[in-house]
Structure 1
């Protein structure tokens, strides 16, 4: 991940310490404000999408559909990416046109204020954002565990990496019906694990679980059913073989 044009650091959070932090969502917290600033300033500075912000078009996969086998099979990947995720991207663009949204603002800003928009925007903006992060943070030759500052933060927060994995797997397994499990940086700049229903995510001001997403796993049945049937737990366990901890760690270091 390239260095942010406008660094997001503890100094920036402290410099903004006089701003109100008790509001309706993560976007009104110090870390949320700094995160949005980084997303927006990087886009305008370079005339494109930043390393932290998400665009409104579906990004091409960085690997082939069969590259994540045997953990995620090619058929599931192709259907998931080219049908489900593509549908969210298309419907998001429709919602953006219908609601006259300025696409020069990062999608993250819409999500942090999603209560101001339609259900269509909430469902499809969330679905698009969630999947874009999901594809980005998997890779075929993934490292087995995080290193550096993220590893230290995981140990400090959860006790050790195995304890974190257990908590994350529990969040994924106990999410009733369809949804996502997440590792986030919360408004206190601490790591936290939780889950959201449907295509909601922790950026949304309507979410019961809020933070800046570092890592998410899709636990909708379409993400795993062709290979794992009803064995969601096996799918979640296999997911650890695919997590690109270098990407997740770089994202974390950009925030703290």
Structure 2
């Protein structure tokens, strides 16, 4: 059975970005519901003995939607940190960003522009393509996740309205600007380091550290 992951910060540390009410709904209810649904859907079938990434890669329909949303939310909540506590872009990641997006400022502009323009509900990602060894910006709709395309997530922002509506109403661009100020670069740097070392294996390592299916 999978369990809801714990957060690595206090939910009252995001003033001006996300309220405790948002965390209460987003993590405490939405994320919890995906975990509960997944457990109910895999009970007593072949998925029950698989880990989260295996389930995502071998399922469809309701099982996939809930498993992917567990992973997507896990990753999102690690991509944010209280302002001033997320560190800075590492020298290695900065070099990769500049190689792929010219400058860090241009990367920020493309990230926010792409996430703002995503139609409907979904996610906007920075990923590492282990085949080309390059960074890419990827948008996915609903529960879709880039790990099904063998791309390693490094950074993600949730643009489902439940992620920001309590605090920012329909002003997605304002939410994204605040998101960028609260990126947990320490986590993103580590994800990039492990992507270089282990490729797609790093995705499973991450997911299994949070909640092995036991």
Is 1:119 matched up with 2:61? yes
Are the equivalent residues in 2 in contact too, given 1:182–1:216 (CA < 8 A)?
yes
Q: Which runs of 5+ in 1 are unaligned?
A: 1-54
Is 1:188 matched up with 2:132? yes
Greater RCO structure (CA 8 Å; 6+ sep):
2
**Residue aligned with 1:203, SS:** helix
Q: Which runs of 5+ in 2 are unaligned?
A: 197-214
Return the offset for 1:102: 4.4
C-alpha RMSD of the superposition: 1.7
**For 1:200, which of 144, 151, 155 is the aligned residue?**
144
CA distance in 2, matches of 1:234, 1:65: 20
**1:133 aligned residue:** 75
**Residue aligned with 2:155, SS:** strand
Which 4+ stretches in 1 moved above 4 angstroms? none
Q: Would the alpha carbon gap of residues 163 and 144 (structure 1) be closer, same or farther in structure 2, given more than 3 Å must change?
A: farther
From the two aligned structures, give the one with the greater helix fraction: 2
The structure having more radius of gyration, on CA atoms, is: 1
**Residue aligned with 1:135, SS:** helix
CA distance in 2, matches of 1:128, 1:254: 21
Q: Would the alpha carbon gap of residues 75 and 109 (structure 1) be closer, same or farther in structure 2, given more than 3 Å must change?
A: same
The number of equivalent residue pairs is 194
Q: TM-score, normalised by structure 2?
A: 0.85
Q: Deviations over 1:1-47 (max 9, x none)?
A: xxxxxxxxxxxxxxxxxxxxxxxxxxxxxxxxxxxxxxxxxxxxxxx
Q: TM-score, normalised by structure 1?
A: 0.71
Return the offset for 1:111: 2.0
Give the alignment of 1:133-172 within 5 angstroms: 133-140=75-82, 141-143=84-86, 145-172=88-115
Are the equivalent residues in 1 in contact too, given 2:18–2:167 (CA < 8 A)?
yes
Are the equivalent residues in 2 in contact too, given 1:203–1:213 (CA < 8 A)?
yes
